């Protein structure tokens, strides 16, 4: 396999072309232009076969998810995506696999007008690293460290579907044909909440995406902000597919601790709450208030219908498939 | 191993801090600012154990080389380095190895005032991907496609040392103790030609770095520019260490086809030649004129004292250790 030929053949002649890309794939560097009065948001995520995705995951999903995970990080900061670089490590040259992979990649980049500006293709164990870049106006980025006692805690979309989808694939749980497809798709093809992220810029105090599970990711915000929080487990948004498949108790557990949902968790103060809800409604983004930040540093108080709720300690996401 | 703790412990509290980094390691994204009137150069390179470096390479070298390779790509476009993101895949948690790795990383980033702005740490086969970003004034970047017939071909530094160093490590050749250390160091710790790259901006027509070997990399320029070239093998710059160790004939072969030297090859027209030599001399960069571009598309004519020189066909760099 000639890595140059591979890159050229599959990537150089396809995909969205942006005006702010002055020199794209094919040289030592890409050359781009950040718009005046915008800051640059940069994130990098690596996905390894058998660690971050099932070894037999469809190629389309591998690419789709890798892009989604990175766009999700941009969204969590309120950034609008612009460019990605891809480093792809392949054990062998499998044209059908690569075709499917490229389709999955361009599916998302086309949708969000993101351009692939470069990368690397190497021989090695199946793994990929994407660096995504986007723009955010100065002083509007969402930081983990800005939560304040009294802030309301919101989450976009539904939680727990991706975890249940993975458990279906692993044979741990069963679902009806319809729910099965829905939940597995939520695992294989997560939706990055790009529009939600940019809608939150001037109203939310903090944001993070749910990659490791709600409890783990909300805890990152609380630690960085020196706060605590109360979360009402009964208010967690779960899909009817998840609810019907595993029942309420197990649905809550998925919602709290399964990762890979890539919904956004954010906090907003009382004053901005109305503006935020209007802004999200205009963008057609579903968001649910699930609790409130308080001053009890590092404490996450889970409540089920106002009674204390205990989450199994070993229910956290382990990044192992 | 908790990946967050690992990142925090080793990376968050150390290294160069730049004013254009608004938000560094620890959030979903880094937030940075590109200076007004500068374009952004972006490059990504992956190094895999056993493919791009010896499985028993020192950790310091693994990190150093990964940074050098990326800064070299920026230099090849004439860009000044600013930030890197690191994705590190580690099979296990080995504190001594990580310490040494971090030292190698910061050795180069400190020297070039580059800030590590983020990344990812995952469990998997030993591999790392770095995305490096830098600045280049509009319309001054060096592209592969701009060579013109008549351009003089130059190369910085010496060629072939890194390839000989690798062959010493593999037991293929022997060297005196002094030369051995020098050549192995050139393999393990290549110097990115950062200052050379920025010095070439307004005078050179094209640039590329020698990662796959002079013949392979110069051919990229010729193909992209629709040109041919004559290269005088006897004028290739080789170190006395390489010359003393393997003799002239073998030294030429290393210089032509061994990779990993990370010197810059560039072309300049007659008119700019004097300015370029002055500019490189001011920056204290050694560069040697090794030939000339011509109009015979795709033909690379190698000459040894004006006689035709044939390079073994299978002498190309194979990216396999």
pLDDT digits (tens, 9 = 90+) for A86-119: 999 999 888 899 999 999 999 999 999 999 999 8
Give bridge partners of residue A303 from the DSSP assignment: A232, A308
pLDDT at A7: 58
pLDDT at B119: 85
SS3 B61: helix
Which of B73, B106, B136 is the endpoint of a domain?
A: B136
Whether A215 is covered by a domain: the verdict is: yes
Which has the closest alpha carbon to A317: A244, A217, A172, A213? A213
Which of B102, B136, B170 is the endpoint of a domain?
A: B136
Chain B partners within 8 Å of A66 (Cβ) = none
Q: How many CB atoms lie within 10 A of CB A267?
A: 28
The percent of residues in chain A predicted with pLDDT above 90, rounded, is: 85
User: Does B220 appear as a known binding residue?
Assistant: no
pLDDT tens profile B55-67 = 999 999 999 999 9
Contact B129 A120 (CB under 8 A): yes
Give bridge partners of residue A87 from the DSSP assignment: A120, A129
Residue A256, pLDDT > 90, answer: yes
CA B249 from chain centre, in angstroms, equals 24
Give the pLDDT mean for B32-51.
Answer: 96
Residue B319, pLDDT > 50, answer: no
In chain A the beta strands, taken as DSSP E runs, fall at 21-23, 30-32, 39-48, 80-90, 115-123, 127-136, 152-156, 206-209, 228-232, 264-268, 287-294, 300-304, 307-308
CB pairs under 8 A between A and B: 194
Contact B51 A122 (CB under 8 A): yes
Q: Select the residue of A4, A31, A207 nearest B141 (Cβ to Cβ).
A: A31
Contact A48 B124 (CB under 8 A): yes
pLDDT tens profile A128-152 = 999 999 999 999 999 999 999 999 9
Confidence of residue A8 (pLDDT cuts 50, 70, 90): low
Ramachandran region of residue B260, left (φ > 0), alpha (ψ -120 to 50) or beta?
left
Q: How many CB atoms lie within 10 A of CB B151?
A: 26
Confidence of residue B203 (pLDDT cuts 50, 70, 90): very high
pLDDT tens profile B213-252 = 999 999 999 999 999 999 999 999 999 999 999 999 999 9
Give the pLDDT mean for B119-148.
Answer: 94
pLDDT at A83: 98
Chain B partners within 8 Å of A48 (Cβ) = 89, 122-125
The dihedral built from the CA positions of residue B165, B169, B171 and B176, taken in this order, carries a sign that is: positive
Residue A14, pLDDT > 90, answer: no
Distance CA B246, CA B238 (A): 11
Whether B319 is covered by a domain: the verdict is: no
pLDDT at B70: 97
Of A3-12, A304-313, B23-32, B78-87, the range with the highest mean pLDDT is B78-87
Whether B55 is covered by a domain: the verdict is: yes
Contact B87 A51 (CB under 8 A): no
Q: How many CB atoms lie within 10 A of CB A32?
A: 24
Residue of chain A with shortest Cα separation from B40: A32
Residue A316, pLDDT > 70, answer: no
User: Does A16 appear as a known binding residue?
Assistant: no
Domain identity same for B29 and B122: yes
Give the pLDDT mean for A291-313.
Answer: 92
Domain identity same for B184 and B241: yes
Domains held by chain B: number: 2
User: Does B5 appear as a known binding residue?
Assistant: no
Confidence of residue B2 (pLDDT cuts 50, 70, 90): low
Residue B267, pLDDT > 60, answer: yes
Q: Select the residue of B3, B48, B74 nearest A29 (Cβ to Cβ).
A: B74
Domain identity same for A131 and A185: no
Give the pLDDT mean for A253-273.
Answer: 96
Distance CA B81, CA B72 (A): 9
Please, what is the average pLDDT of chain B?
A: 93
Confidence of residue B7 (pLDDT cuts 50, 70, 90): low
Ramachandran region of residue B184, left (φ > 0), alpha (ψ -120 to 50) or beta?
alpha
pLDDT at A1: 44
Please, what is the average pLDDT of chain A?
A: 93
Which of A101, A136, A171 is the endpoint of a domain?
A: A136
Say what the ipTM of the complex is. 0.92
Which has the closest alpha carbon to B231: B163, B143, B159? B159
Domain identity same for B200 and B277: yes
Asked if A115 contacts A17 with a C-beta cutoff of 8 angstroms, the reply is yes
**What order do you get walking across the sheet with B21-23 strand by strand?**
A115-123, A80-90, A127-136, A39-48, B30-32, B21-23
Contact A28 B144 (CB under 8 A): yes
Chain A partners within 8 Å of B4 (Cβ) = 220
Asked if B87 contacts A46 with a C-beta cutoff of 8 angstroms, the reply is yes
User: Does B163 appear as a known binding residue?
Assistant: no
User: Does B52 appear as a known binding residue?
Assistant: yes
Whether B45 is covered by a domain: the verdict is: yes
Substitution target in A26, A29, A213 with the highest count of B β-carbons within 10 Å is A29
Q: Which CATH number does the domain housing residue B44 bear? A: 3.30.1330.10
DSSP B319: S
Domain identity same for B185 and B158: yes
pLDDT at B298: 83
Whether B102 is covered by a domain: the verdict is: yes
pLDDT at A12: 66
Contact B48 A77 (CB under 8 A): no
pLDDT at A320: 42
Identify the weakest region by mean pLDDT among A47-51, A151-155, B244-248, B317-321: B317-321
Whether A317 is covered by a domain: the verdict is: no
Domain identity same for B202 and B73: no
Domain identity same for B157 and B250: yes
The percent of residues in chain B predicted with pLDDT above 90, rounded, is: 85
pLDDT at A2: 58
CA atoms within 13 A on the CB side of B92: 2
Q: Which domain covers residue A104, as residue numbers?
A: 3-136
Asked if B99 contacts B162 with a C-beta cutoff of 8 angstroms, the reply is no
Chain B partners within 8 Å of A40 (Cβ) = 31-34, 40
Chain B partners within 8 Å of A145 (Cβ) = 27
User: Does B260 appear as a known binding residue?
Assistant: yes
Asked if A203 contacts A276 with a C-beta cutoff of 8 angstroms, the reply is yes
Domain identity same for B209 and B103: no
Give bridge partners of residue A90 from the DSSP assignment: A123
Residue of chain A with shortest Cα separation from B26: A144
pLDDT at B46: 94
Distance CA A203, CA A270 (A): 10
CA atoms within 13 A on the CB side of B200: 34
Residue of chain A with shortest Cα separation from B5: A220
Whether B321 is covered by a domain: the verdict is: no
CA B138 from chain centre, in angstroms, equals 23
User: Does A39 appear as a known binding residue?
Assistant: no
Residue of chain A with shortest Cα separation from B128: A129
Domain identity same for B170 and B231: yes
pLDDT at B40: 98
Residue of chain A with shortest Cα separation from B132: A29
Domain identity same for A120 and A150: no
Asked if B118 contacts B12 with a C-beta cutoff of 8 angstroms, the reply is no
SS3 A223: helix
Residue B270, pLDDT > 70, answer: yes
Domain identity same for A200 and A298: yes
Whether A178 is covered by a domain: the verdict is: yes
Domain identity same for A42 and A81: yes
Token pair of B132 as six digits: 């490096």
Q: Which CATH number does the domain housing residue A194 bear? A: 3.90.650.10
């Amino acid at each position: 396999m000639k890595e140059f030929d591979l890159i050229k053949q599959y990537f150089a002649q396809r995909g969205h072309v942006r005006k702010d890309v002055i020199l794209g794939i094919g040289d030592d560097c890409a050359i781009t232009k950040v718009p005046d009065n915008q800051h640059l948001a940069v994130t990098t995520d690596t996905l390894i076969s058998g660690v971050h995705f099932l070894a037999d995951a469809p190629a389309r999903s591998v690419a789709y998810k890798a892009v989604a995970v990175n766009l999700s990080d941009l969204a969590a900061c309120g950034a609008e995506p612009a460019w990605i670089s891809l480093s792809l490590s392949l054990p062998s040259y499998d044209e059908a696999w690569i075709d499917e992979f490229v389709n999955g990649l361009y599916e998302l980049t086309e949708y969000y007008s993101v351009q692939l500006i470069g990368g690397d293709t190497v021989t090695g164990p199946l793994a990929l690293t994407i660096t995504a870049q986007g723009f955010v106006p100065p002083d509007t980025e969402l930081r983990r460290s800005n939560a304040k006692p009294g802030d309301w805690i919101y989450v976009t979309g539904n939680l727990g579907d991706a975890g249940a989808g993975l458990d279906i694939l692993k044979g741990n749980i069963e679902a009806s044909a319809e729910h099965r497809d829905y939940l597995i798709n939520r695992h294989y093809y997560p939706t990055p909440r790009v529009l939600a992220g940019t809608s939150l810029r001037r109203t939310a105090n903090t944001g993070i995406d749910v990659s490791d599970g709600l409890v783990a990711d909300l805890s990152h915000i609380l630690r960085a902000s020196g706060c605590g929080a109360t979360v009402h487990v009964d208010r967690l948004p779960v899909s009817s597919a998840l609810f019907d498949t595993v029942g309420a108790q197990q649905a809550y557990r998925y919602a709290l601790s399964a990762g890979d949902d890539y919904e956004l968790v954010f906090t907003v103060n009382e004053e901005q709450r109305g503006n935020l809800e209007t802004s999200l409604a205009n963008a057609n983004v579903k968001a649910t208030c699930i609790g409130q930040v308080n001053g009890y540093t590092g404490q996450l108080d889970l409540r089920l219908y106002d009674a204390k709720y205990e989450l199994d300690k070993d229910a956290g996401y382990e990044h192992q498939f």
